[in-house]
Copies of this chain bind each other. A is one copy, B any other.
Amino acid sequence: MSDATVKYLLPETDLPTDWYNIVADLPTPPPPVLHPGTLKPVGPADLAPLFPETLILQEVATERRIEIPQPVRDIYRLWRPTPLYRARRLERALDTPARIFYKYEGVSPAGSHKPNTAIPQAFYNKEAGTRRIATETGAGQWGSSLALAGSLFGIEIDIYMVKVSYHQKPYRRALMESYGARCVPSPSLETAAGRAILAANPDSRGSLGIAISEAVEMAASRDDTKYALGSVLNHVLLHQTVIGEEAIDQMAMADAYPDVIVACTGGGSNFAGLAFPFLGAKLRGGPDVRIVAVEPAACPSLTRGRYAYDFGDTAGLTPLTKMHTLGSTFMPPGFHAGGLRYHGMAPLVSHIKELGLVEAVAYRQTEVFAAGVQFARAEGIVPAPEANHAVKGAIDEALRCKADGQARTILFNLSGHGHFDMQSYTDYFAGKLEDIDYDEGDLAQALAGLPKVAD
């Protein structure tokens, strides 16, 4: 029967022993991170209030391979290595000559790729004696992943959750609380940043940028508390490369190599996690591969943002990083892929885009959900709204193969399942999902407000 499931599972003994650091293979290094006051490159001491030393060193590391600590691998094995599938039923539904593979990260206990970095971040914090970690979360994928990590390592977790999501996604909140984390709707009265926002706008629905400001403030102002970020930063992308490291071995099991790699981009971490190891191989003289980043048309940092120094948060508490940004005050509309509602792109992804190593494409949410439903009915897994962007990108690549009559090999990252996002599917089926656009005036204003930094 041609409907046979084709799954490539690595034995546990083949769990990667190292993360891959693409900085080692880039033709030019990424621009430095700047202190917002001095506009000078930040040093480790500037970051010490927020992160344990090992993570700071990983943030600026230049060696190609960084060992995954044994206790992290011991927990990774709860769900890793994750499966790689050939989407044979989807190929048939599309009647495409393309071979479509996908790496499935939804098998983690939190349902997405996010625990790949939550676990090591909690581990290094535990090693450094951190008692509490403050963080932010949008849709809740990151928050629930850090909550999981906190419960496994015995660290208190305080999560500032974007207020609109806090109320719209009570089940993600319940998941965080099941892991023992404390979840606070943001903006809150717990921080100066939150109080300032609420004073100006008592009805603020919050944003990821605001929630980051709150979490950073709490970490910076308390001796026993550090901060953790679920995407964007170099060390986060580094941890996610476990995805691509496994995928390289699994594609070899399938006797195949991708012509094109597709992943969705919000902050950029699941994208980097799958793509960087393949891109690194190419940079070292290995096989060529196209890399396609798929972003929401309503929050299009790679396709419509400016490559400039900007803050990672709304209140301007973070260092300045050079990235594709819509401006830190940009307010993305309330579309359903909450994990992709961020004004900036990971500096490393942005740098690589500037180097011409990455293509970017933006889609609207109704076409993205149509792709997700087609995928679910063919392959059995209901993707997260974020992952639907990657599905749509992969389907379009496959349809291009059909038009060209070319049997190219497509690999995409199915970064999470949609179990906590079924309201968006309900809305989609009820015809209530609309292609909300961002406000052009808001974007122009946010870009005009970018910090002035001489490049």
| A interface with B by C-beta (< 8 Å) | 1, 3-5, 7, 9, 11-12, 70-71, 74-78, 85, 89, 107, 109, 111, 148, 151-152, 170-175, 177-180, 373, 376-378, 380-382, 418-420, 422-423, 425-426, 429
Contacts and interface: CB of A to CB of B under 8 A. Distances in A.
A382 B180 CA distance: 12
The 8 residue pairs across chains A and B that have the minimum distance between CB atoms: A171-B422, A419-B419, A4-B74, A174-B422, A109-B380, A5-B77, A174-B426, A174-B425
A337 B445 CA distance: 51
A11 B74 CA distance: 20
A71 B426 contact: no
A311 B4 CA distance: 39
Given A1-B71, A5-B75, A174-B422, 9 more contacts: A3-B71, A3-B75, A5-B74, A9-B9, A9-B11, A173-B426, A174-B426, A175-B419, A178-B373
Contacts of A152: 3, 89, 380
Contacts of A171: 171, 419, 422-423, 426
Contacts of A151: 376-378, 380
A154 to B, nearest CB: 10
25 contacts: A1-B71, A1-B74, A3-B71, A3-B75, A3-B152, A4-B74, A5-B75, A5-B77, A7-B78, A9-B11, A109-B381, A109-B382, A151-B378, A172-B422, A173-B426, A174-B423, A174-B425, A175-B382, A175-B422, A177-B425, A177-B426, A177-B429, A178-B425, A178-B429, A419-B419
B1 A429 contact: no
Nearest to A169: B422
B5 A380 contact: no
A180 B7 CA distance: 24
Nearest to A172: B422
Contacts of A425: 174-175, 177-178
Contact of A1 (B70, B76, B85): B70
Contacts of A70: 1
Contacts of A173: 426
Contacts of A12: 7, 9
A179 B377 contact: yes
A172 B11 CA distance: 33
B77 A7 contact: yes
A103 to B, nearest CB: 15
A298 to B, nearest CB: 22
B423 A420 contact: no
Nearest to A383: B178
A52 to B, nearest CB: 18
A427 to B, nearest CB: 9
A415 to B, nearest CB: 16
A247 to B, nearest CB: 18
Contacts of A7: 12, 77-78
Given A1-B70, A107-B107, A78 B170 contact: no
B422 A111 contact: no
Nearest to A369: B178
Contacts of A377: 151, 178-180
A384 B107 CA distance: 16
A314 B4 CA distance: 39
Contacts of A381: 109
Nearest to A373: B178
A29 to B, nearest CB: 35
A180 B373 CA distance: 9
A161 to B, nearest CB: 14
A23 B419 CA distance: 38
Nearest to A78: B5
